[in-house]
């Protein structure tokens, strides 16, 4: 997922903390196209913290691995009765049948 962060000139600067879930596996993390070293962030079961994000606009790319068949929270992409489902507002359809 690629996110563009825009500077808030009225904000104080500090770590950037993003919520996550223990069932998501972080496989890559890039800041402005460059891979972040492990020392630049902290990853826990439910948060990702970038210790010193840039003080100007930047792009953060997080690549994660998910298991929709094991997602029991029914958030994001999940499987229900053999059908992949999502609550994504940008999708034409909220569910689609698995194709083999």
Q: What is the pLDDT of residues 58-93, one digit of tens each?
A: 899 999 898 989 988 888 888 888 888 887 655 544
Burial of 12 (0-12, 13-18, 19+ CB in 10 A): exposed
| Average pLDDT of span 41-46 | 92
- 6 and 54 fall within a common domain: yes
CB atoms within 10 A of CB 68: 15
Domain that holds residue 98: 67-100
Residues forming beta bridges with residue 46, ordered by sequence position: none
Q: How many domains does the chain have?
A: 2
- 74 and 88 fall within a common domain: yes
- 58 and 91 fall within a common domain: no
pLDDT given at position 92: 43
pLDDT given at position 100: 39
- 9 and 22 fall within a common domain: yes
- 61 and 13 fall within a common domain: yes
User: Is residue 68 within 8 Å of 82, Cβ to Cβ?
Assistant: no
| Average pLDDT of span 15-27 | 88
pLDDT given at position 94: 44
- 35 and 60 fall within a common domain: yes
User: How many residues does this entry show for the chain?
Assistant: 100
């Amino acid at each position: 997922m690629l996110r563009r962060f825009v500077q808030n000139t009225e904000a104080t600067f500090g770590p950037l903390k993003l919520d996550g879930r223990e069932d998501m596996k972080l496989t890559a993390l890039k800041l402005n196209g460059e891979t972040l070293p492990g020392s630049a962030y902290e990853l826990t079961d439910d948060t990702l913290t970038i210790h010193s994000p840039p003080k100007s606009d930047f792009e953060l790319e997080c690549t994660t691995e998910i298991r929709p068949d094991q997602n029991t929270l029914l958030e994001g992409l999940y499987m229900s009765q053999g059908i992949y489902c999502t609550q994504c507002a940008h999708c034409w359809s909220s569910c689609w049948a698995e194709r083999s």
